[in-house]
Every structure is written in C-alpha cells, then in structure tokens.
Amino acid sequence: DAKTTQPPSMDCAEGRAANLPCNHSTISGNEYVYWYRQIHSQGPQYIIHGLKNNETNEMASLIITEDRKSSTLILPHATLRDTAVYYCIVRAHTGGFKTIFGAGTRLFVKA
Amino acid sequence: DAGVIQSPRHEVTEMGQEVTLRCKPISGHDYLFWYRQTMMRGLELLIYFNNNVPIDDSGMPEDRFSAKMPNASFSTLKIQPSEPRDSAVYFCASRGGQGGVPRETQYFGPGTRLLVL
C-alpha cells in the first residue's frame, strides 16, 4: 500500500471548515483513499473514502486531485467534538487486507 | 447491532502473568483484526483472520503473543507471560459494509487498556 504524509497537527475555530490535507504521491491506480478518525480513548472510526471522484457524506467531504497524488478531507462546520486524530490511508480493495495507520493529523477545534 | 465488543475494558496485571483479551465482532463480518496502540509506535496491526482462519500474523511481536478465533463470533488475544512493554491499548476490529458503507471498512471496538506492572 502507498504511504501517506499528513501534517502532525492543525487548529480550527468552531463553526469553521476544517481542511485536512494528505499527500499520497505514490498511490496506485487501484488504490482508494480512506479517512478514519480517532477521538480520544476510542477506537478509530470510518469517515469517508474515494477513488478519484470527490465524495460527500453526512460527516465530511473528500476532495481528490485530478492526478490523485493528494487529497483533502473537509469538515464543513467543525465542532468541539471533531477534535481527534485524523488518519489518511490508501489501500486497494484486492490482495491482502492490511490497513496501515500512520501518525495522522491531530485536529484541535477551539471555541 | 451493538458494534464490536471487547472485554475487559481495562486490565492491570503483574509481569509474568497471563493476559487474555476478548473480542466479539459484528455479526456477519468475515474479517477480524487485532491492533495494538502505543504513544511510541502508534496503531499497529498484529494479526487478522478471514472466516476464522489466521491470514497474516506477521505483526505479532513475539511468541508470547497468540490469537485464536474458534468461531465467527469470538476471538481471543493472549499474552503469556506478560511484560511491562506490552502495556498498550489493544483494539479489535471487524470488516464489512452496512448501510451503504463499503465492505472494506473496518469497525473498531472500544479497546482494552492493558497495564503490566
């Protein structure tokens, strides 16, 4: 699976959009971009995933660049409860099913 | 569904003792994963099962660790003998889609916080 690079931490004001970047320059054509988050003392939670099109669900939006070498997770109206570590992962839906979690981005949402 | 269930939620033991962590995956999920999380090493995959069969145990740190899945609704991770460096949060996850979420999505349990003194 391709590796990802994320900033170690970010701040966001409550009510504003949080934009979390992820670089995955070695992504393969069959690899998807997944985002999970881990709120303190809980297990990681799935947020969203995509292959090459932008995706949106009730939690977030995922913007993937045309060359697929980077992506951005957008939390449109961040709340204090969105304070967590956000993991960007790339993996294929075939072959082995290892999911490698990197260090992630620690997002602090401030009042 | 109650989600992935893990027990105990907290465990404190002394070095040299046997520790058994338990996991009940989400019904209908065919993959089960065991992870360990520490501040130093982050979230590490230890082992995963497919249809109760261990597929990849390359992440198991050493022979003191063993995992079993006797049936589709139960798995254990055992450490014998335990050491202080085994102190960590151990997560169990199962894989499967529901409600429009892709089948490749992993659902994590609340974790077991292990402290070995």
Please tell me the distance from the alpha carbon of residue B30 to that of residue A24, in angstroms, as a whole number.
29
Cβ distance of A44 and B106 shorter than 8 Å = yes
State in Å, rounded, how far the first CA of chain A is from the last one: 37
Q: How confident is the model at residue B52 (pLDDT cuts 50, 70, 90)?
A: very high
Q: How confident is the model at residue B100 (pLDDT cuts 50, 70, 90)?
A: low
Supply A45's token pair. Answer: 């939670």
Span A58-81, pLDDT tens digits: 999 999 999 999 999 999 999 999
Q: Any chain A CB within 8 A of the CB of B102? A: yes
Q: Any chain A CB within 8 A of the CB of B97? A: no
Supply A2's token pair. Answer: 């391709």
Beta strand pairing call for A9-13 and A105-110: parallel
Return the residue matching tokens 């090493």. B41
Within 8 A of B93 by CB-CB distance, chain A residues are 43-44
CA atoms within 13 A on the CB side of A86: 33
